[in-house]
Amino acid sequence: MNKRKIGTQKEETAAAYLRECGLTILEMNFRSRMGEIDIVASDADYTVFVEVKYRKTASAGVPEEAVGISKARTISKTADYYRVLKKLPPDAKIRFDVVAIEGSTIRWHKNAFPYCG
């Protein structure tokens, strides 16, 4: 199975997990020229931008470590575009989460990083 197919499968797994936890999935794979956001969801009064990271094992490091400052900046800028496109008010509550999948273990990190604009 190629990496893109595995990535799509893990993003679907993460979306199902977030649904089970009460979030509403608004979009999958939102793309702009600035970047991509794996999942956009709604959690109560928050719009949540979710990055999904997968590792088969921890031998290459835990998945969470793959979301550094550069990735956070890209997601933040893409989230800005999403907010403008969807006409969200400037004071709308947003959050950046990471869903890490390692083997069959899922870890959900709410507020994984701050806005990096």
CATH code of the domain covering residue 43:
3.40.1350.10
Share of the chain above pLDDT 90, in %: 80
33 located within any domain: yes
Which domain does 41 fall in, by range? 3-109
Q: Confidence band (pLDDT; 50, 70, 90) for 1?
A: low
Q: Cβ distance 96 to 112 under 8 Å?
A: yes
Q: Domain count for the chain, please give it.
A: 1
pLDDT in tens, 33-72: 999 999 999 999 999 999 999 988 777 778 888 899 999 9
62 located within any domain: yes
97 located within any domain: yes
Q: Confidence band (pLDDT; 50, 70, 90) for 110?
A: very high
18 located within any domain: yes
Tell me the mean pLDDT in the region 88-108. Answer: 95
Query: Could you give the CA distance from residue 50 to residue 61 in angstroms, rounded to a whole number?
Result: 20
114 located within any domain: no
pTM, 2 dp: 0.94
pLDDT in tens, 9-25: 999 999 999 999 999 99
Residue type, 22: G
88 located within any domain: yes
Averaged pLDDT score across all residues of the chain? 93
